[in-house]
Structure 1
């Protein structure tokens, strides 16, 4: 993991943002439905429902981000990536849980409680993409894989000299 942001060609960033959006459009409704079920059918407290729903979706989302949005070229930094992703996710979940706890104590209705995690995570969506793209999953090899022209050392078969 590099603490220095890497520059990526605009088309590569758009491609990753598009894939990130697709993963989010799958993970968010899944989390939303599970949270709503836990809150309304099983009648769990809002914070407990949020923690369980987030725990269920976090690992599959990380795997989708790592394998499809930001493909791993090596496993050298997997432990630090998991740790930093876990830290970011924990902060997001803690923020949503804090808001839920406050609203639940004040007697907020189920519809308000149901929308709270969704709105909290939505506000963090672009910041999360920027963090994941520029710091956590940023690798020069990723840039080269998306566009061989960016890496002058990458050789395309047609560029290799004939023997």
Structure 2
């Protein structure tokens, strides 16, 4: 679990970095409005984040379980995205009359965008872990009942030597 969480965290930091660059370029350099800039920034960071956490953090590849993972990722990430976009947009609205310099307002938006992601970070991890963590069914022979089985977390299962 620690390895998965560490990799999830690193993937999240990379995706957040990508989103922040996009937010800065769109809002400050291209002068897009806060909602547009934060929405595009969020979407641009989401795709590499999904690919990194699926393959690198949880070690999933191929088609098995991919539909459920995509659906869970969209639902969980969209909830976090709505929060981030909403807070960033409200922060822009609040800062507009107080700070006229677009550069300083951009810094305020970046801080708001980062702060909005923090509260949902752990909740998002645990929600996604329920879907992304692959489980194997191992049958345990029993003298009385051959139908017993145990569920094992595949992230800790080691291959058997031949």
Q: TM-score range by the shorter chain?
A: 0.7 to 0.9
Partner of 1:152: none
Max Rg structure:
2
Query: Which has the higher mean CA deviation after the structures are superposed, 56-65 or 99-108?
Result: 99-108
| Cα separation, 2, equivalents of 1:123 and 1:57 | 18
The answer to whether residue 80 in structure 2 is matched with residue 80 in structure 1 is no
Larger relative contact order (Cα-Cα within 8 Å, sequence gap ≥ 6): 1
| Cα separation, 2, equivalents of 1:15 and 1:136 | 17
Task: Report the number of matched residues.
Answer: 139
Aligned-partner SS, 1:157: coil
User: More helix by proportion, 1 or 2?
Assistant: 1
Partner of 1:56: 44
In structure 1, the gaps of 5 or more residues are 1-12, 149-154, 159-163
Partner of 2:78: 90
Aligned-partner SS, 1:106: helix
Partner of 1:45: 33
Partner of 1:23: 11
Partner of 2:154: 144
The answer to whether residue 125 in structure 2 is matched with residue 129 in structure 1 is yes
Aligned-partner SS, 1:124: helix
Matching residue within 76, 94, 97 for 1:106 = 94
1:88-122 C-alpha deviation (Å, 9 max, x unpaired): 11111111121222222233441222211111112
Contact 2:72–2:128 (CA under 8 A) maintained in structure 1: no
TM-score with structure 2 setting the length: 0.76
